[in-house]
Amino acid sequence: MSTHEPNEQNSGTNAAAEEVEATLEPTGAEAGEDSAQAGQKETRPEPPPPDYREIRIQTLERALADRETTLHSYIRAHKKAEQDFDAYKARLERDRERELVAAKAKFVERLLDVDDNLERTISAAKQGTGGLNALVTGLDMVHRQFVERLGELGLERVDPIGRPFDPNSMEALGVVAVNDPAKNDTVVLTMRTGYRLGEREIRPALVQVGRFYS
């Protein structure tokens, strides 16, 4: 066996190991790139801390915008309610006017018959037919019809003669001496009839009050 063979094998083994090491070690360019990347990582600035003041301002601005939206909705609702209320008042006013006109028409309609009879009585008096008695009878009929129509409308005719004087519903035009003590401070003469509509005094009666002098 030759003495040179082991050396050749060792040389081949060493050469193969050097090639493997060469593949594992970075080249100069790669080493420079790695160093540059490492330097960049080391020198990259840290992100700034959050600005809580700016966040607070943005939160308040959003809340203010929401409040403004709510306020505008309230304003629109208020204007709508005002318009509805104005329309309601106008409708009530129109209804009241119609009811008033209807009540006036009903009142006038009930008095038209009285006016017709009064015209007939006046016409007969002018023609001289029937005499004075017929005229008085006609006028009395018209008057009674007029009072009846007022009663149908709820108007009460008040003649307080013989009643105790009531200053709340009567006006005294004077006093009259009486011989009967029972007539003291009572109505002895009605100068003008009073009228009452329900509980309301439309017109007080004008009266004279008796006074007993002992």
Q: Do residue 59 and residue 121 come from a single domain?
A: yes
Residue 54 CA, chain-centre distance (Å), reads 45
Residue 93 is part of a domain; what is its CATH number?
A: 3.90.20
Q: Do residue 135 and residue 94 come from a single domain?
A: yes
Note the pLDDT of residue 69. Answer: 92
Bridge partners, 15 (sequence order): none
Distance CA 194, CA 207 (A): 10
Distance CA 174, CA 29 (A): 139
32 lies in some domain: no
2 lies in some domain: no
Note the pLDDT of residue 97. Answer: 92
Look up the domain containing 106 and give its range: 54-153
44 lies in some domain: no
Distance CA 208, CA 192 (A): 10
Is 186 within 8 Å of 196 (Cβ atoms)? no
Q: Do residue 60 and residue 96 come from a single domain?
A: yes
Domain boundary pick from 153, 179, 203: 153
Distance CA 34, CA 38 (A): 6
Assigned token pair, 48: 């700034």
83 lies in some domain: yes
Residue 214 is part of a domain; what is its CATH number?
A: 2.30.22.10
Question: Which residue is it, tokens 């607070």?
Answer: 56
Distance CA 75, CA 109 (A): 51
30 lies in some domain: no
- pTM as predicted: 0.49
201 lies in some domain: yes
List the pLDDT tens digit at each of the 214 positions of the chain: 444 444 444 455 455 445 544 444 455 445 455 554 545 555 677 777 778 888 889 999 999 999 999 999 999 999 999 999 999 999 999 999 999 899 888 888 888 888 888 888 888 888 876 678 888 888 888 988 888 888 888 888 889 999 999 988 899 999 999 999 899 999 999 999 999 888 888 899 999 999 998 7
102 lies in some domain: yes
Q: Do residue 176 and residue 98 come from a single domain?
A: no
Note the pLDDT of residue 90. Answer: 94
Is 187 within 8 Å of 206 (Cβ atoms)? no
Distance CA 200, CA 45 (A): 96
Note the pLDDT of residue 24. Answer: 45
Assigned token pair, 183: 């007539």
Domain boundary pick from 137, 153, 169: 153
Note the pLDDT of residue 51. Answer: 80
Q: Do residue 143 and residue 94 come from a single domain?
A: yes
Q: Phi then psi for 194, rounded to 5 degrees?
A: -95, 165
In total, how many domains does the chain have? Answer: 2
